[in-house]
């Protein structure tokens, strides 16, 4: 019985992470996405902690593949001339790994205060790493402190959407999961006798 509950819990968490990732395919303001929330949610609720990395990363890769090849290739054909794009931005994946690690540490106990700290921290991590990556790969930025400050300055308008997206999707994922736990009882921790 305990094993069935764990499998059901893992399946529901995985499905919620995948649904969040696929929501990136819907029209949205730039950077208003569930990326940070997906990492935090998986870190908080997967009982097997290696799944906190595998499932959210798999969902992110699937959504990146679909975004790049179905949406961005049509919107920006001048940048998508090489055929199928298999991966997204490596700097995003690095930030995502750190966000999951943050979730493993901060969200050992899921409480509103911890969620706020984790969500705000996830937004800052994402901003710092992806804009550093922009400076490193975009030839418009000199590879020095001034170039880094220019990249961070250019990223500020997008930071606010990242922050709002992380807070919104963290609330949706964690709130929906807690609601299912309270209403259905199917996700309550399995007890041993």
For the chain, how long is the longest CA-to-CA vector? Answer: 64
d(Cα 35, Cα 166) in Å, to the nearest integer?
7
Say if 170 falls within a structural domain: yes
Say if 32 falls within a structural domain: yes
Say if 189 falls within a structural domain: no
d(Cα 49, Cα 56) in Å, to the nearest integer?
12
Answer whether 0.75 is exceeded by the pTM. Answer: yes
- Evaluate if residue 185 carries a pLDDT over 80: no
What confidence tier does 193 reach under pLDDT thresholds 50, 70, 90? Answer: very low
Greater model confidence, 3 or 154: 154
DSSP 59: H
Greater model confidence, 102 or 75: 102
What confidence tier does 192 reach under pLDDT thresholds 50, 70, 90? Answer: very low
Q: Which structural domain range is residue 165 located in? A: 2-184
Say if 37 falls within a structural domain: yes
Say if 193 falls within a structural domain: no
The count of domains in the chain is 1
Place of tokens 């418009």: 140
Contact assessment for residue 122 and residue 96, using Cβ atoms and an 8 Å cutoff: no
DSSP string, 92-112: HHHHHHHHHHHHHHHTTS--H
pLDDT tens per residue across span 114-153: 999 999 999 999 999 999 999 999 999 999 999 999 999 9
Say if 190 falls within a structural domain: no
Say if 192 falls within a structural domain: no
Say if 59 falls within a structural domain: yes
Place of tokens 């409480």: 111
């Amino acid at each position: 019985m305990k094993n069935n509950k764990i499998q059901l819990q893992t399946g529901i968490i995985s499905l919620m992470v995948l649904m969040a990732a696929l929501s990136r395919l819907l029209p949205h303001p730039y950077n208003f996405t569930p990326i940070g929330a997906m990492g935090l949610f998986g870190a908080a609720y997967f009982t097997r902690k290696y799944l906190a990395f595998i499932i959210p990363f798999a969902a992110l890769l699937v959504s990146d593949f679909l975004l790049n090849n179905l949406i961005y290739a049509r919107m920006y054909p001048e940048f998508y001339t090489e055929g199928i794009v298999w991966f997204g931005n490596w700097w995003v994946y690095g930030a995502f790994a750190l966000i999951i690690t943050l979730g493993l540490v901060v969200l050992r106990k899921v409480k509103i205060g911890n969620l706020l700290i984790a969500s705000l921290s996830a937004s800052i991590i994402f901003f710092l790493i992806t804009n550093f990556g922009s400076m490193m790969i975009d030839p418009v930025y000199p590879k020095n402190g001034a170039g880094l400050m220019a990249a961070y300055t250019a990223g500020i308008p997008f930071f606010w959407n990242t922050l709002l997206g992380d807070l919104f999707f963290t609330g949706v994922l964690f709130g929906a999961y807690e609601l299912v736990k309270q209403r259905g009882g199917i996700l309550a921790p399995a007890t041993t006798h």
